[in-house]
Amino acid sequence: GVDAIYLPTDNLIASNMPAVGAVADELGVPTVCGESGMVLAGGTITYSISYKALGFLTGEMAAKILSGTPCSEVPSTSVNASGLEVAINEGSIQKLGIEVPESIKDKLNNK
């Protein structure tokens, strides 16, 4: 018996999320996914990287380099908490009888 399953961002898992989500829901086990696309495909919930925010940040770095800033002077960085997103699969939440706190619902990006 497990309480939940964490599914990291992985192309094999992501491409099979409808089946993984269906089996997990049937077994009464929520899945915490590595990114929102996996939730939309059948997972339960995520608080994860936003590929849109990551792409924007990458574009800013590329613009600096294309404007003549040497690569060695462009600092490495990462998406901060404001660049993360919450996604919830309402169907899965209902099947599993999970009550999502309002503090999490307030962060939803997939309303």
Contacts of 44 by beta carbon, 8 Å cutoff, 6+ apart = 21, 24, 25, 30, 31, 32, 33, 88, 89, 92, 93, 96, 98
- What does the block give as tokens for 86? 């919450």
**pLDDT tens-digit profile, the chain (111 residues):** 899 999 999 999 999 999 999 999 999 999 999 999 999 999 999 998 888 888 999 999 999 999 999 999 999 888 777 778 899 999 999 999 999 888 888 877 544
Cα distance between residue 30 and residue 17, in whole Å: 13
Residue of 53, 77, 52 lying closest to 64 (CA atoms):
77
pTM value surpassing 0.85: no
The bridge status of strand 5-7 relative to strand 84-88 is: unpaired
